[in-house]
């Protein structure tokens, strides 16, 4: 059993580290959509990752000029040039968007120009679209935006907030769940955000490694429960403060600190025989505050519609916690059994995990600076 445990832990560690620093959150993107009632139908405000929009439009429309100008401006970090390149091809870009983001039964009239903004330190293009719609008691919104033929995006979430048909709410769309109707029940909307939170933790290798560092540094169930509770309370605080618009920290600061937190907590696990007590909990709590900002950034909740998103964000957080508890429940008992059955092997395994996680955290830290 001990050898099997060693192999299992080694395989898990290799799998996590093999994902590489660029895969901390994976090659994914988020589209933000605000949907509201308009005098003759529906109005949408779409925010899309700029370089992804340029590459995808150029590929779909066979527009080499847009690709050259748009990517050159992006690589130079020249925001006015980005806007100019996109607006020089506003018609095909607008067509690309409105063919993939639709309001069922309605006809789109995109604005003649895109505007530029930013999400999590990444350039985003904004497009306003008016939809002429026949009278209806409810509307179905569908998103098939990205990935197309660009090949480097594996996952796209479309976060929709709406004030339409006498209802206000939010929805999370992806390839498996591409549409929602304003008549859907509250529990359907909440399930979408629970699932989104669970998927975010599972695909966020940096957050998983932080949790693994906590587990490696815990000798008793009480240790990991206290550490996990401290982490949960901390990231819930900043998560909700961001949702209320009271905290806004640039991703350029948050992401390196998250990476540093992984290295520090893992190093504590590697060098200390008993990494328990108030000092450890204080460190975990402080870094948990930063991780909460990272979770918040996943949904762009520094937007004005934060109040509308509030309850959905709570469910998103519950999804994160459910996966976190599941990982602890699966991993900690195995490590605890290994330590009891083969103490020397257990110490080597714990040390290897902690050292590997610390090294990966340092790599990410310097890459994110």
> Are 176 and 81 members of one domain?
yes
Domain boundary among the residues 140, 173, 196 is at 196
Rounded to whole angstroms, the Cα distance separating 215 from 332 reads: 6
Strand 41-49 vs strand 28-38: parallel, antiparallel, or unpaired? antiparallel
Domain boundary among the residues 196, 214, 237 is at 196
Please give the residue range of the domain that contains residue 304.
2-25+204-368
Residue 121, by phi and psi: left (phi above 0), alpha (psi -120 to 50) or beta?
Answer: left
The pairs formed by 334-341 with CB atoms below 8 angstroms and a separation of 24 or more are 334/5, 334/8, 334/9, 335/5, 335/9, 335/215, 335/216, 336/221, 337/1, 337/5, 338/2, 338/5, 338/6, 338/9, 339/219, 341/1, 341/2
> Are 172 and 184 members of one domain?
yes
> Are 332 and 349 members of one domain?
yes
The pairs formed by 329-332 with CB atoms below 8 angstroms and a separation of 24 or more are 331/212, 331/215, 332/215, 332/218, 332/221, 332/224
> Are 325 and 338 members of one domain?
yes
- State the pLDDT at residue 148: 65
- State the pLDDT at residue 295: 67
- State the pLDDT at residue 332: 84
- State the pLDDT at residue 149: 60
> Are 271 and 356 members of one domain?
yes
The DSSP secondary-structure symbol of 23 reads: G
- State the pLDDT at residue 26: 41
> Are 88 and 172 members of one domain?
yes
The DSSP secondary-structure symbol of 21 reads: G
- State the pLDDT at residue 39: 87
All residue ranges of the chain with pLDDT < 50 are 1-26, 273, 275, 302-306
Of 143, 139, 181, nearest in space to 43 by CA: 139
> Are 189 and 213 members of one domain?
no
- State the pLDDT at residue 152: 64
> Are 227 and 191 members of one domain?
no
> Are 284 and 346 members of one domain?
yes
> Are 9 and 82 members of one domain?
no
User: What's the total number of domains in the chain?
Assistant: 2
> Are 153 and 229 members of one domain?
no
Domain boundary among the residues 171, 196, 221 is at 196
* Helices (H), ranges, 204-341: 205-216, 221-243, 251-271, 278-297, 306-341
The CA–CA distances, whole Å, from 345 to 201, 233, 271, 336 equal 29, 33, 16, 12
Rounded to whole angstroms, the Cα distance separating 28 from 147 reads: 9
> Are 88 and 156 members of one domain?
yes
CB-CB contact of 219 with 276 (8 Å): yes
**Tokens at 180, concatenated:** 């929602």
**Tokens at 1, concatenated:** 């059993």
- State the pLDDT at residue 241: 77
């Amino acid at each position: 059993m001990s050898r099997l445990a060693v192999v299992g832990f080694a395989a898990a560690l290799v799998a996590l580290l093999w994902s590489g620093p660029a895969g901390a959150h994976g090659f994914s993107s988020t589209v933000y959509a605000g949907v509201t009632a308009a005098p003759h139908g529906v109005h949408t405000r779409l925010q899309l990752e700029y370089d992804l929009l340029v590459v995808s439009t150029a590929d779909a429309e066979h527009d080499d000029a847009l690709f050259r100008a748009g990517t050159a401006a992006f690589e130079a970090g020249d925001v006015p040039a980005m806007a100019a390149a996109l607006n020089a091809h506003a018609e095909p870009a607008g067509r690309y968007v409105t063919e993939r983001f639709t309001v069922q039964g309605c006809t789109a009239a995109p604005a003649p120009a895109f505007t530029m903004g930013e999400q999590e330190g990444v350039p985003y293009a904004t497009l306003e679209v008016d939809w002429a719609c026949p009278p209806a008691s409810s509307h179905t919104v569908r998103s098939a935006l990205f990935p197309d033929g660009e090949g480097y995006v594996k996952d796209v979430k479309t976060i929709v907030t709406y004030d339409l048909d006498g209802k206000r709410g939010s929805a999370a769309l992806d390839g498996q769940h591409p549409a929602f109707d304003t008549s859907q029940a509250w529990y359907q909307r909440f399930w979408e955000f629970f699932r989104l939170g669970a998927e975010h933790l599972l695909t966020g290798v940096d957050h998983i490694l932080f949790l693994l560092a906590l587990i490696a540094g815990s000798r008793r169930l009480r240790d990991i429960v206290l550490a996990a509770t401290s982490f949960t309370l901390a990231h819930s605080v900043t998560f909700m403060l961001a949702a209320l618009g009271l905290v806004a920290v640039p991703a350029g600061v948050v992401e390196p600190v998250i990476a540093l937190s992984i290295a520090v907590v893992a190093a504590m696990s590697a060098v200390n025989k008993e990494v328990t007590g108030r000092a450890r909990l204080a460190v975990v709590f402080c870094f948990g505050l930063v991780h909460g900002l990272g979770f918040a950034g996943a949904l762009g909740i520094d937007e004005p519609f934060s109040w509308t998103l509030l309850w959905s964000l709570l469910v998103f957080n519950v999804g994160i916690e459910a996966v976190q508890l599941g990982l602890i429940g699966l991993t900690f008992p195995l490590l605890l059994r290994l330590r009891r059955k083969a103490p020397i092997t257990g110490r080597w395994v714990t040390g290897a995990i902690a050292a590997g996680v610390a090294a990966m955290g340092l790599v990410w830290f310097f890459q994110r600076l």
